[in-house]
Amino acid sequence: MGRVIDNILIPLFDLLPEDEFLIFTKETIGKYSRPRVSEHVLPSPGGHLRWENGPLRKTLKKEKPDVFVGSNYILPLFHPWKSLLIEHDISVVSHPEWYSPKYAWTRRFLIKRSLNKAVVVIVPSEFTKKEIVTCFGLNPEKIKVLRWGIEDKFRRPPDERILAWKEKKVLRGKRIVGYLGALIIRRHIPLLVRAVSLLRQEFSETMLYVVGKDLTGLKPGEMATILGREWIRWEETLPEEDLPLFYSSLDAFAYLSEYEGFGFPPLESLGCGTPVVLMAGSSLEEVFGDMAVLVRSRDEKEVRDALRSVLMDEHIRLRLLNRFEQRRSQFSWQGTARELAFLLRALKST
């Protein structure tokens, strides 16, 4: 969500030169300071829901904005302001089994209420739009699909920097399959481990490099056991500035997620010149299509074969990367911001 807001807001300031922007946050961000833009820090001891319906709602009542942009799935419960809502996905509604019953029920109620209150709903894929229409019966004319973009920093660095990164991470001379993102059930990390283990029977120098915090909800220590093999490197986080080096150091990027509203990591990997293997379905097939190798089952042999094709077949690698480069301009944050500016102008005039 932070990546989306940062990349949309900054060009939006110039696209709407007649408007004043009030940015409400829980802590100081400090990157939006400029004429017509003011950042208001509204602390709260509780979570987002308490913050949104306490300090934020109180401040909105005072400021009386012409348009409110909700970037975090839901709007305040009592919300009379004309609003544009960004709904990244509705996994908690489509797959409540991935969440606690109380959380799933509460979020469904809040999302439904927010979707109905919003004048316009922004989603990043046709997949998410279809899900909202199916689950809530929302008028599809109310939902606008704006494709997210890729930041220019996601390009391949010079070879000497990549080699230095590999030396630092003790990866030089290895064939590396990578993953980056929160470790959650729907992204099937154990399946990826099994597939790479099979691949190592043919190519023993293959390694798996996983970056992400364990949010699977498995028993304590279970994920550490799964990822605790000598051929797996696991780090919970990387500095933002290191992400292009991470992606560029890989030979293949795997993202076996059965549900995504968009999918930033595969896009960033392609931007850095590393081909991707994805789980077919959800938004991933829609967004990436023939720019990726798709697997259609949770069979580790199929995943192994897909990884092998990306690692070993230079024609496949070049074809995937060339297709991405031909379409890279379609993933433009400036273009997304222009479309959003058009919608905001229309909202102000109604």
pLDDT (tens digit per residue) in 5-16:
889 998 999 999
Q: Is the domain of 14 the same as that of 145? A: yes
Q: Is residue 292 part of a domain?
A: yes
Check which CATH number belongs to the domain holding 257 and give it. 3.40.50.2000
Q: Is the domain of 237 the same as that of 142? A: no
Q: Is residue 253 part of a domain?
A: yes
Give pLDDT tens digits for 201-256: 999 999 999 999 999 988 889 999 999 999 999 999 999 999 999 999 999 999 99
Q: Is the domain of 204 the same as that of 289? A: yes
What is d(CA 128, CA 136) in angstroms, rounded to the nearest whole number?
A: 12
Contact 82, 63 (CB under 8 A): no
What pLDDT is attached to residue 280? Answer: 96
Long-range contacts of 144-147 (CB under 8 A, 24+ apart): 144/120, 144/339, 144/343, 146/122, 146/336, 146/339, 146/340, 147/287, 147/330, 147/331, 147/335, 147/336
What is d(CA 52, CA 31) in angstroms, rounded to the nearest whole number?
A: 22
Q: Is residue 154 part of a domain?
A: no
Entry pTM: 0.94
Q: Is the domain of 45 the same as that of 183? A: no
Q: Is residue 268 part of a domain?
A: yes
Residue 131 domain boundaries: 2-149+332-349
Is residue 341 within a helix (H) or strand (E), and if so which, with residue range?
Answer: helix 333-349
Q: Is the domain of 128 the same as that of 172? A: no
Q: Is the domain of 166 the same as that of 255? A: yes
